[in-house]
Amino acid sequence: MGMRVGYARVSSAGQKLDMQLDKLEDCDRVYYEKASASSTTSRPELLKAMDFVRDDDVLVVTKRDRLARSVVDMAMIITRLQEKEVDLVVLDQGIDTTTMYGRLQFNILTSIGEFEREIIKERSREGREKAIANGVKFGAPQKLSETEIAQLIRDYESPDVSKKNLAEFYGLSRSSVYRIYKERCQNVSD
């Protein structure tokens, strides 16, 4: 059996870690912080704990919400722990992946997280398609007006003007000049 690595977190300065740390006193090492759980990247101590744990270690938290705020966030953490062959124990909720029942709970949570991610992706795709159908344009706004683009195409076709000079004049990269020409000339020939 590897190490027991604890992680404790409170989300505001007024909260105290004492109760969590008391419950994690049998851990070999404990990481703790005062940080919002909005994303894993804003919790450097959690990232350190996740990097530290190795095969056969156990990550111990007092409650699931101390580790993650959403099912999706939890699923990502669970996946990373599984990849590292690290077990998870959530003391107050009785989740313990060192047992077969705990692994079942763990896998159910992962499945729910994957399902939730798929729903979010589907809704995002549908929203994007609807926005495009309603004329919304995504991406950065065009740098050049239609008049400037027409002039760029005339200049592009002129043997007296280099593509490098065109790019500098219009404030674009050479690849953008080539792309604009290709897109506009292809649309004309279609």
Q: Which residue has the higher pLDDT, 87 or 12?
A: 87
What pLDDT does residue 104 have? 87
Write down the domain spans for the chain: 4-115, 146-189
What pLDDT does residue 106 have? 74
What pLDDT does residue 188 have? 56
Tell me which of 11, 12, 145, 173 is the catalytic residue. 11
Contact 66, 89 (CB under 8 A): no
pTM of the model: 0.58
Torsion of CA 118, 123, 124, 125, to 10 degrees: 90
Give strand pairing partners of 88: 59
- Class of 4-115 per CATH? alpha beta
Respond yes or no: is residue 11 known to be catalytic.
yes
